[in-house]
A and B are shown apart, each in its own frame.
Chain A
Amino acid sequence: MTSHLALTLAQSGSQWIDFNVGLLAERFWANTVDGLAYGSIYALVALGYTLVYGVLRLINFAHSEVFVVGAFGAYFTFVGLGYKPGPTLASGLGPLIANLVLAGAVAMIAAGLIALLLERVAYRPLRRRNAPRLVFLITAIGASFAIQQGFYLWRGANPEPAIRLVRPEAVFDIAGTRITNIQIVVFVASVVLLIVADRFVGQTRLGRGIRAVAQDPDTAALMGVNKERVIMLTFVIGGALAGAAALFYVMMIPQGVLYNGGFLLGIKAFTAAVLGGIGNLRGALLGGLLLGVVENYGQTLFGGEWRDVVAFVLLIGILMVRPTGILGESLGRARV
C-alpha cells in the first residue's frame, strides 16, 4: 500500500518535475553523510560571518574571498610540496597527514591574515569616521569584488588543475552506504574546530571579551576590554576557520580552486548563519549541517539543478516561522 502511494506521488509529480521519492529512500543515508561533510564546511565559513556580525553588526561580504585565499593557500602548498595534477600517488599515511596539516596551517594563516588586512584597510578607517552602516556594507561588497578580480587577473578564469592528495575510498559501510575517508576526515576535523571555537568564545577570558563587545560595546570598554583588539581577534578567528574550511573543500572538490570559487559557497555559508541565527555560534553549526543535508535530499528528490533552490527555500521557510533563525540571534548564549 505504501509503496503504491509513493509510486503515484512520483508519477503525478513527474508531470511537472521529477519527484523521485524512491531514489531518495535509496540514497537517504548516502545523502545524509555527504550532506554532513558539506554542511560542516558551510558551518566553518558561517562562523566567520556570525562572529563579525556579532561584534560589528556587519555582514562581511568579503568573507567568501577570505575563503578563496585559503583555498589558493592550500593549493599552492600542495604544489610546493611537489604534488602534481593527475592520478593520486600512493604515499605513506604519516607524510600524507603531515602534508595536509601543513596545507591547513598555510590556508588558515593566509586566510586569517587577509581577514585582518581587510579589517584594517577597509573597515577600521570607516569606524574611525563613524561611517553609516550602509557604507560598511558597500565597502564589504567592493572588497569582495576587488579580491575576486585580483585573483582573476592573476590566475585567469579557469580553475587550477585538480590535485588530489587523497583518493576517496570507502572506509566502512552502514546499511549499504559507503562512507569515504575524506568525508570522515572533513566532518570530524570540522566538528573539532567548531567545538574549539565555541569553547574559546564561551569559556576563555578573550572569548568573554568578544561576547562583551557583542552585547554592549561601551560597558565592555568600561570593564577594560580593548574593542579594537577584540575586533581584530574576531576577524582572525573567522578567517582562520574559513582557511580550514578551504582545505577541506579542496580535498572534497579538487577542481574547485578558482577566482570566484567562494561565491556560491559564501552565500550558502551566509545562509547557514542566518538559518541558525546570525551572531549565534551554535546556530552557525546547526544551520550549516542542516543546509548541507537538506540540499542533498533536495538534489536527489528534484534533480541536481534544484539543489540551490532547495537551500534558499529552506532559508525562506525557516525565516517565515522564526525571523531570527532557529536558535535566535546572540553571541554564545541566548539573549533574554
Chain B
Amino acid sequence: MALLELHSVSVAYGRIQALRDISLTVEEGEIVTLIGANGAGKTTTMKAISGLVPLSQGSIEFDGADISKVRADLRVVRGICQAPEGRGVFPGMTVRENLEMGCYTRRDRKAIAEDFDRVFELFPRLKERATQAGGTLSGGEQQMVAIGRALMARPRLLLLDEPSMGLAPQFIQQIFNIITEINKQGTTVLLVEQNAQQALSRAHRGYVLETGSVTRASTGKDLLADPAVKEAYLGVA
C-alpha cells in the first residue's frame, strides 16, 4: 500500500478542466517529482492533495484512508504538509512565528522543541533571522522558511511546490541538497519542479504532466534519459 494514491483525479475551475483523470502513487520513503510546463496542472495537483481545491472526480487516498472529502486543515493533522508555490511566508510574522505556524496543530512541546533545533540545523540562516519579519527576507530565505515551516508539522508526506523558483543558482543547489537530506532523515517528499534536471536526478520516480494529464511515469533516471523528456524539459535536442 502506497502512502499517497491519486485515483483518476479530475479538477475543474468553473468550465476549465485543470486536471484530467490523474493517477499517481507515492511510496513511503520516496522522493517523487512532478514535472511539466507552466499550466500543466502541477500546482493544482498539489492543491488537490492538500485540500485547497475540491475534486470533480476521482479520489485521494492517504495512508489507506480516503481523504477526498477531508478539510484542508485536518489533512495537516493526518500528516500532509505543503510548502506552497510562491512560498506563502506570512509577511507580518517573524521567522520564528512563521515556523510556529507549522506546528499549529501540534501539542507535543518537547518534540516541537526538537524540531526547532532540527530546522535551525538544516537552515542556520533562519536562526540568525529568527526575529526578522517574513516580508523582509530574501527569496532564498523565504524558501527556507517555507520548507522549514512545513517540516515543523513533522509531516509524513512533505509537498514542495516549485522550491527553486526565482532563486539564485547557488541557492538552488543548496535547496536540492537539503531536500535530499530531509528525505534521508525519513520524510517522504512529493516535489513539483520546473527545474527538471535537478528534480529528476534527485527523485526516485517522476511523472510528466501535460495539459492536465500524466503522459509519462518512470524512475528519475529513465526519465532523464528519455529523448522526449530531454527535448521538452531539459533543453537538450
Binding site for B on A (CB under 8 A): 205, 208-209, 211-212, 215-216, 218-227, 330-336
Contact = CB atoms under 8 A, between A and B. Distances in A.
Given A225-B73, A330-B92, A335 B84 contact: no
A221 B51 contact: yes
Interface residues of B, number: 28
A208 B135 contact: no
A208 B92 contact: no
Contacts, number: 80
A223 B76 contact: yes
A224 B76 contact: yes
A227 B73 contact: yes
Given A218-B52, A224-B76, 19 more contacts: A205-B100, A212-B90, A212-B101, A215-B93, A219-B90, A221-B52, A222-B76, A223-B102, A223-B104, A224-B104, A225-B73, A225-B101, A226-B71, A227-B73, A330-B92, A332-B93, A335-B91, A335-B135, A336-B136
Nearest to A331: B92
Contacts of B104: 205, 208-209, 212, 223-225
A30 to B, nearest CB: 39
Contacts of A330: 92
A139 B37 CA distance: 43
Contacts of B52: 218, 221-222
Contacts of A226: 71, 73
A319 to B, nearest CB: 22
B88 interface: yes
Interface of B: 50-52, 71-74, 76-77, 81-82, 84, 88, 90-93, 97, 100-102, 104-105, 133, 135-136, 149, 153
Query: What 6 pairs between A and B have smallest CB-CB spacing?
Result: A336-B135, A224-B76, A219-B88, A224-B105, A221-B72, A333-B92
B91 A208 contact: no
Of residues A209, A221, A225, which shows the largest number of chain B Cβ atoms within 10 Å of its Cβ? A221
Contact of A211 (B76, B82, B90, B149): B90
Contacts of A216: 88, 90
Nearest to A227: B73
A336 B52 CA distance: 26
Contacts of B97: 208
Nearest to A205: B104
A223 B90 CA distance: 11
A204 B194 CA distance: 38
Nearest to B133: A336
